[in-house]
A and B are shown apart, each in its own frame.
Chain A
Amino acid sequence: MSVLLYMIPLALILGFIGLAGFIWSLRTGQYEDMDGAAYRILIDEEEDKTSA
């Protein structure tokens, strides 16, 4: 049963990493334009000035 002592914290840490990733993506506004994101992958990046 001592395996639980490793596995449960490990599972929780993995879960937290996922949650932290989600919160980061939310904070950086990645859910603000869901339709636009689908189209933007089709745009070739320009060399000099790119939109910030």
Chain B
Amino acid sequence: MAEQALSGTSDLYRALADIPSVTTYSKIAPYVKTDAAGDNHLSLMIDGIHCAACIQAIESALLQLPSVHYVRLNFSTRRLNVSWRGDANMAERMVQALTALSYKATPFDPETLARQDEKENSSLLLCLGVAGFAAGNIMLLSFSLWTTDIQTMGVAVRDFLHWVSALIAVPAVAFSGRPFFTSAWNALRAGRTNMDVPISVGLILTTGMSLFELVNHGEHAYFDSAVMLMFFLLIGRYLDHLARSKARQAATDLMGMMAGTATLLKNDQPHAILIRDIKPDMDILVTAGEYIAADGRVLEGQTDIDTSLVTGESLPMMAAPGDVVMSGTINLSAPIVIRTIRSADESQVGHMIGLMEKAEASQARYVRIADRVARLYTPVVHILAFASFMGWLLIGHIPWQDALLIAATVLIITCPCALALAVPIVQVLAVGRLMKQGIMVQSSDVLEKVATIDTIIFDKTGTLTCGRPALMNVDDIDPQILQLAASMARYSRHPLSVALSSYYVENALPLTVEEIPGSGLRTMLNGCEIRLGRRLWATTEKLPDDIPQALEIVLAMDGNAPVRFLFRDELRPDTLSVINQLKGKGMHLHLLSGDRQNIVQDMAKTLGLESAHGQMAPEDKFQFMETLRAKGHKIMMVGDGINDAPVLAGADVSVAPASGIDMARRAAQIVFTSDTLQPILTILNVGYISQKRVRENFMMTVLYNACAIPLAIAGFVTPLIAALAMSLSSLAVILNAFRLRRYV
């Protein structure tokens, strides 16, 4: 990788020389922010960085540009911040420079992305730091309290040590306890309870009781327990936050990429416009290779439109003036001008986003396992504490201070330290392991749901198949003919051309190729015309129709017999074995596709799938899933297209290959980069194992509480025992979670 990045630097200078210094208009310009001092700032999302050499290549390349004075690449978030003086149009050159280094740079608006998240992160770290400091220092004092008896030490020294502890503990609890207090307060105000309610009550009660003991020269000051408890809880909270913010970040990155620009034609002059600002009756120029940003009618130009991501249809359709093109499709062969008939929000893609949001709202009802436990746990603990207070007071006839102390001890010792760690520690470990295998988990709760899945719905194109047509009859074709055809195909973005040109990478013939949208490619070689494209356009000769499921292009030249190139979208190499293993696990499998019925049925037969449906519109797919859900099935959806996005958003667990369209990746909770289907099995496996660990952790805390609570209620627990018991239970939970590594 290092060599690649470094050799890229010299490519850069060549590329820089080719860049015209004045660009007429810039697509990136809307993202450049100019501050009061005249400095321009740009944030870019960078794809494809792997190592130190990448950081260096990118930063030094941009610093070479004139007037750039700040470049910083954040390796963790893959975001690049650049500042420079002078011409705002430099932004264009920067992106071109990065492209020359073969990094994909996408501008984004940093304001829209989660700054909130970063603030929360550093405030949690600060709380953790303060709690750590306080815990360390108080333990130092407590150690002497625990190891020395009162006769040796004397009441005065003990009180002194307690006072110092109080001086550290009270401000620390007030400062570092805030995350728990605010969350508990918000929950209570909304008439709910959560895990933070007993934590807050425990913290406040313990600190208050210890202060009371302190003033009365008592022995039972629990400052150490309170601060240690808070420290451990904050570790759990931080881990939880880490897992969730990683997940959220993956999601916001995808969202930032979607907010792109389009080219608006106004008085025949191109202007960059943000896609979300597109209104009806605007003229938009769509160059070859670009996504169509809003539904519209073609005004000028003729081209092929790739609708595979929207409908699942494998072959492009032709669009000529007057035809309606839908947003989310890709313009393949020639530039066209469209007049929009709907704004971007109301266009097909916008409509899908609406469906997705509706589906996501139904997901919000899911209650995380930790919160379900908290709902049970909170009342039980408080009732136990209250009962022991009343019991000691009324039956045991001890002073109310002592009874309250026992009640507080019950609260501390049951305080859900291990419980608060039980889930996040497992999730952080599991998510990290999956990431190493190229599986990005975008929502940390999803692993909880994986374990309940009994039904899997697959999309066809790009999910079960590679989504790229492969040449079936490569062995039957004369290498010279292949070279000629591949050299022509290089000039087109048509999926079959792209596939064809990948079969001959060596010496391409220098040709002047003309693309005729909807028909094919044409060139002249040694004075005779060569056509590569649709059968009826390329040749008048009669050809056999022996393989109906194959996609075909024909190469014809004067005086030679036409040559057929047959393509088929191949299954991923391990699709069959993965499907069989899933069947072995007792999963219900369904295949839903927008492609033609006969192709879908054909594939279902190959894979042995009983339930397969073709020609499904996005709404049909969504309906199908809702019906299954209504029957009580827990559904995993695997898909990659715009038409899958609503189902992905609505399914219990959703998985998309990284090759899928932005929108599917955004809707999915899990994205995998592999060319195989193996990740589906890995995800299920990790889901089962991590849920098992979580259940074990809960069992351990229950067991621990079963031993500790009776002791606390009986009044046998000293501060030392409370602190030890809590630390040990937390440690046990963490160690158990680490056992995950052995299986994943």
Residues of chain A whose beta carbon lies under 8 Å from any beta carbon of chain B: 1, 4, 8, 11-12, 15-16, 18-19, 22-23, 26, 31-36, 39-40, 42-43, 46, 49, 51-52
Contacts and interface: CB of A to CB of B under 8 A. Distances in A.
B76 A34 contact: yes
Interface of B: 51-52, 55-56, 59-60, 63, 69-77, 118, 121-122, 125-126, 129-130, 133, 136-137, 140-141, 157, 160, 164, 168
8 contacts: A4-B160, A8-B141, A12-B164, A26-B126, A31-B125, A34-B76, A43-B56, A51-B59
Given A19-B133, A40-B55, A43-B55, A51 B72 contact: yes
A35 B78 CA distance: 10
A26 to B, nearest CB: 6
B117 to A, nearest CB: 11
Contacts of A46: 60
Contact of B129 (A22, A34, A35): A22
A1 B157 contact: yes
Nearest to B50: A39
Main secondary structure of the interface of A (DSSP, over half): helix
Nearest to B62: A51
Contacts of A36: 55, 73-76
Contacts of A49: 63
Contact of A15 (B51, B77, B137): B137
A20 to B, nearest CB: 10
Given A8-B164, A26-B125, A26-B129, 10 more contacts: A12-B137, A22-B133, A23-B126, A26-B122, A26-B126, A31-B121, A36-B55, A36-B74, A49-B63, A52-B72
A28 B129 CA distance: 15
Contacts of A51: 59, 63, 70-72
B69 A52 contact: yes
Contacts, number: 64
B64 to A, nearest CB: 9
Q: When A and B form their complex, which 10 residue pairs have the shortest distance between CB atoms, in order from nearest?
A: A36-B75, A42-B52, A39-B52, A19-B133, A22-B129, A35-B76, A33-B74, A35-B75, A43-B56, A15-B137
Nearest to A21: B129
Given A4-B157, A34-B76, A39 B126 contact: no
B129 A23 contact: yes
A32 B122 CA distance: 9
Contacts of A42: 52
A18 B69 contact: no
A18 to B, nearest CB: 7
A34 B141 CA distance: 34
